[in-house]
Structure 1
Amino acid sequence: MKQSLRGKFYGQTNRTISLNGITLTDTVYTHNKVDWHYHEHAYFTFILEGNVIEGNKKEIYNCAPGSLLFHNWQEPHYNIKNKGFTRGFHLEIDKKWFDNLALSCDGLQGSTNILNPDIKLLMYKVFRATKIDDMCIDISIQSLLIEMLSKMNCNTQSTLHKMPRWVLMIDEILHDQFAETTTLDELSRMLDIHPIHLSRDFSKYFNCNLGEYIRKLKVEKALSLIALQNKSFTEIAYECGFSDQSHFTRCFKEFNGLNPSRHRKLLFT
Structure 2
Amino acid sequence: MKHSKKGEFYGDTNKTIYLDGITLTDTVYTHPKVDWHYHEHAYFTFILQGNVIEGNKKEVYNCKAGSMLFHNWQDAHYNIKPEGFTRGFHLEIEKHWFDNLNLNSESLEGSSKILNPDIKLLMYKVFRASKVETSPDLPTQILLLEIISKLQDTFKSVQDKKPKWVTTLDELLHEEFAENLSLEYLSSILNIHPIHLSRDFSKYFHCNLGEYIRKLKVEKALSLMSFSKLSFTEIAYQCGFSDQSHFNRCFREMNDLNPSEHKRILFKK
TM range (shorter): over 0.9
How many Å separate the matches in 2 of 1:133 and 1:161? 39
How many Å separate the matches in 2 of 1:154 and 1:37? 28
| Residue in structure 2 matched with residue 69 of structure 1 by the alignment | 69
Residue 106 of structure 1 and its aligned partner are, at CA, apart by 2.8
| Residue in structure 2 matched with residue 10 of structure 1 by the alignment | 10
Task: Report the residue type matching 2:210 in the other structure.
Answer: G
Structure 2 spans left out of the alignment, 5+ residues = none
Q: Is the 8 A contact 2:6 2:92 kept in 1?
A: yes
How many Å separate the matches in 1 of 2:132 and 2:260? 16
| Residue in structure 1 matched with residue 52 of structure 2 by the alignment | 52
Residue 85 of structure 1 and its aligned partner are, at CA, apart by 1.0
| Residue in structure 2 matched with residue 147 of structure 1 by the alignment | 146
Matched, 1:159 2:165: no
Give the match's secondary structure for 2:131: coil
Give the match's secondary structure for 1:57: coil
How many Å separate the matches in 1 of 2:134 and 2:50? 29
| Residue in structure 2 matched with residue 117 of structure 1 by the alignment | 117
How many Å separate the matches in 2 of 1:129 and 1:189? 43
Task: Report the residue type matching 2:251 in the other structure.
Answer: F
Residue 104 of structure 1 and its aligned partner are, at CA, apart by 1.2
Task: Report the residue type matching 1:120 in the other structure.
Answer: K
How many Å separate the matches in 2 of 1:126 and 1:160? 28
The runs of 4+ residues in structure 1 deviating greater than 3 Å are none
| Residue in structure 1 matched with residue 226 of structure 2 by the alignment | 227
How many Å separate the matches in 1 of 2:258 and 2:149? 27
Give the match's secondary structure for 1:131: helix
| Residue in structure 2 matched with residue 134 of structure 1 by the alignment | 134
Residue 133 of structure 1 and its aligned partner are, at CA, apart by 2.9
How many Å separate the matches in 2 of 1:195 and 1:134? 49
| Correspondence list, 1:198-209, <5 A | 198-209=197-208
How many Å separate the matches in 1 of 2:157 and 2:104? 16
Please tell me the root mean square deviation across aligned C-alpha atoms, in Å.
Answer: 0.8
- Give CA deviations for 1:173-213 in whole Å, capped at 9, x if unaligned: 10010000111011111111111111111001111000000
| Residue in structure 2 matched with residue 174 of structure 1 by the alignment | 173
- Give CA deviations for 1:61-107 in whole Å, capped at 9, x if unaligned: 11111100000111010001111111110000001110111101232
How many Å separate the matches in 1 of 2:145 and 2:206? 17
| Residue in structure 2 matched with residue 94 of structure 1 by the alignment | 94
Give the match's secondary structure for 2:199: helix
Q: Is the 8 A contact 2:120 2:219 kept in 1?
A: yes
Residue 131 of structure 1 and its aligned partner are, at CA, apart by 1.3
Task: Report the residue type matching 1:102 in the other structure.
Answer: N
Residue 21 of structure 1 and its aligned partner are, at CA, apart by 0.3
| Residue in structure 1 matched with residue 257 of structure 2 by the alignment | 258
How many Å separate the matches in 2 of 1:147 and 1:50? 27
Task: Report the residue type matching 1:129 in the other structure.
Answer: A
Task: Report the residue type matching 1:193 in the other structure.
Answer: I
Structure 1 spans left out of the alignment, 5+ residues = none
How many Å separate the matches in 2 of 1:92 and 1:266? 21
Residue 114 of structure 1 and its aligned partner are, at CA, apart by 0.2
Q: Is the 8 A contact 2:95 2:105 kept in 1?
A: no
Task: Report the residue type matching 2:201 in the other structure.
Answer: F
How many Å separate the matches in 1 of 2:51 and 2:44? 16
How many Å separate the matches in 2 of 1:218 and 1:190? 21
Q: How many residues align?
A: 268
How many Å separate the matches in 1 of 2:169 and 2:122? 22
How many Å separate the matches in 2 of 1:79 and 1:107? 25
- Give CA deviations for 1:9-40 in whole Å, capped at 9, x if unaligned: 00111111000000000011111100000000
